[in-house]
A and B are shown apart, each in its own frame.
Chain A
Amino acid sequence: MSEGNGSTDFCMPALGADMEKGTLLEWYVKPGDPVHRGQVIADVDTEKSAIEVEVWTDGIVDEICVPEGAEVPVGTVLARLRPAVPSAVAPAAPAAPAKVPPQAAPRVQPKVQPPARPRVQPPTRPAVPGAMSAAPRVRSSPLVRRRAAQAGIDLAAIPGTGPGGAVVSADLERALAGTHPQSAHQQAHQPAPEPVPEPAAERTPRPRARRSPTADGMRESIARLMTRSKREIPHYYLSTTIDVGPALAWLRERNAGLEVTERLLPVALLLKATALAASEYPDMNGHYVDGRHHPAPTVRLGVPVALRSGGLVTPIVDAAEQLSVFDLNRRLRDVATRARQGALRASDLAEPTLSVTNLGDQGVEAVFGVIYPPQVALVGFGAVSERPWAHDGLLGVRPLVTATLAADHRVSDGHRGGLFLTAVAERLAHPEEL
């Protein structure tokens, strides 16, 4: 965003290091609408997913510069905002009376959030004046709306079974199967999931029909970024095995008295331990730009989330070293859930300073990651599994996890990396201090 003669440009944001262009899917505001810091004002489609984009200044929409459906490079001015006139004199403001309906003000939710933590709980999207005049807005994710639009289906005609009556993908699929004559034809081209998998096959293939239209774009985007990483970053890799018995015992004890929604996931402990260790080892946390490392003042963890439709997105947990494990757990559930719903916001994707990949749920023992440029390290956790372990001269069976580090040799050496990984292990040995 840039400013000149009092107006502010709202530009196509870079939603990830690999994004070069984006498509403006939908505007939620029109000229004359007042906007507030943190308000979602547009949906943008990247090669990875549809993202809700917030505005970070208060003001009034002066001009929409890019129409819905247009694909533009990162940095393109999407809209111009002008400063809001002070509310005390608003009714008398003569500047552009035609564009500023004074009655528009009540639609905007006044500062519903503490300004200190805008990323954690952005305000709910205010009603869209334009949409209100026609019909009540149908609740659904940007992804579902887009797919419905592509299929030429009116979302309002689909009964929603999601939270609050939201139209979810499954509803759309049902509608497509039932009412759209083309769908049967389309599905015939895709291998339908077997009604019952072969007994030998442990794993049912992902239903192909769920593959999103952006899957190919996402694959290209991942390929571009990972190729750049392997070309530019001299990786080194370390691995260590950690006894997470104490951490899991502490977790079980804490969870016993908690509501299901508040229960901690083991991954929250792994992330917190990593964030604390990273705050001690700045050479693992930051960005390598213009030939040198820029350590970051706080730890903004990137947590890759696999999407059901294939590919992944990497939302952030900001200032993870300062969050309690409970707040971190809550934030993680929130972003992971929204990532899968295609309802991430631009601020959820702000540049992470260190990424942590957790393939534990897939059952693999260790993951040796590829660093996301311009980050300088990536921590990986495999599955927690019970394995033989020698402790105090005795052989026992303990829950173990293999933690790995891929780090950038331009910034650190194996010695520093080893100390860092050991610090992660030490943090996990004292879960009550996490």
Chain B
Amino acid sequence: MKELAFDAVVIGGGAAGMAAALELRSSGRSAAIVEREERLGGILAQCIHTGFGLIEFDEELSGPEFAERFEERVAPAGIEAFCGCTVLELDVEGEQKTVTCVSRSEGVMRLRARAVILAMGCRERNRGNVRIPGSRPAGVFTAGLAQRLVNVEGYVPGRDVVVIGSGDIGLIMARRMSWIGCKVHAVVEILPYPSGLTRNIVQCLRDFGIPLYLSHLTTDIFGRDRVEGIEVAPIENGALMTEKAFKIPCDTVLLSVGLVPENELSRMAGVSINPMTNGPWADSFLMTSVSGVFACGNVLHVHDLVDYVVEEARRAGRFAAAWLGGERPKRELRVKAGPNVRYVAPSRVEPGRDNKLYLRTMIVRNDAVLEARIDGKVLCSIKKNHVQPSEMITLSLGAAELGAIAGTPDATVEISIQ
């Protein structure tokens, strides 16, 4: 069995994994990437629509273009990338981490390192996760699976489509299915507002005259061998109006009902998970509860832009390199989600330097105020023209904001939106 040693092993070769590994290399550390697919790039390969890279490259690129721009830097940087290679086990014994993986070409292989960066991304919620009643016919797909079938493998999964859930992948797929000649009959969303970005509502639904049923629950899926239709009912003042239920005939149902960070390996290694993000708790170094194991990208929390994923992953790579060199956070403050904030990641800041926080709100509001406080004292207050749950918010807290409270022991920074 092949055994190799690196300073750091990155699990997952998508945008996060590549960005983290490149940063490790430019900090002078050896790094390997383990990627399950035959090629680096992760989910970007099937995201053939544009809208990627506005922050990173100041250009609007498609997913494959964005991925390739990173991919072509990996080999020249001296990063060992093991593609078609699945991680079976992540084992932690003090300082020593062992990644056991298997591939067609190498068989079983052990990679040893002092640092591991988790970059496994996320998975789609499926029908079982959201408990949609009805029969079990063929023709029910998650939106991302349909996206892969259409964009990469060249299969058309059906002709008459209904999308359940208004997440961005569902909206993007509504347009894709329309563009390949299918008829998209409706998008059904349980919440009173869409889960996807406004520009996707406009360009993926309105351009094609696709109706969006907000505050509607899917109460049944019909069909024996193949989907024949679904039944939906409106929710009014919190009550399901079953007498107003109606049927939408279709042969295909696409589910766009949320994403969950993929942390099976993290749990195996004893990493503790934040129930609000379904990703690891991370400190100001983006290090998990297991010393030397870092996390970035969608495995940490679900991002809405790959540009933010890359930004976060670079910091994870830099922190991992610093940690390998013996650096540790000098002092950390806890960060807590306050009123109207669903979560903040990471959950620690270091007062002496610049910290970048990502957060999500639970409300839709124009002219909102984002505030960071300690013991009721306002550290910073930032006006936001518009906030909504589907748009991630970034917040920088530096020495300027945090310096004043340097003397307070065990202080907690509370982030709120009003």
Q: Do A and B come from one complex?
A: no
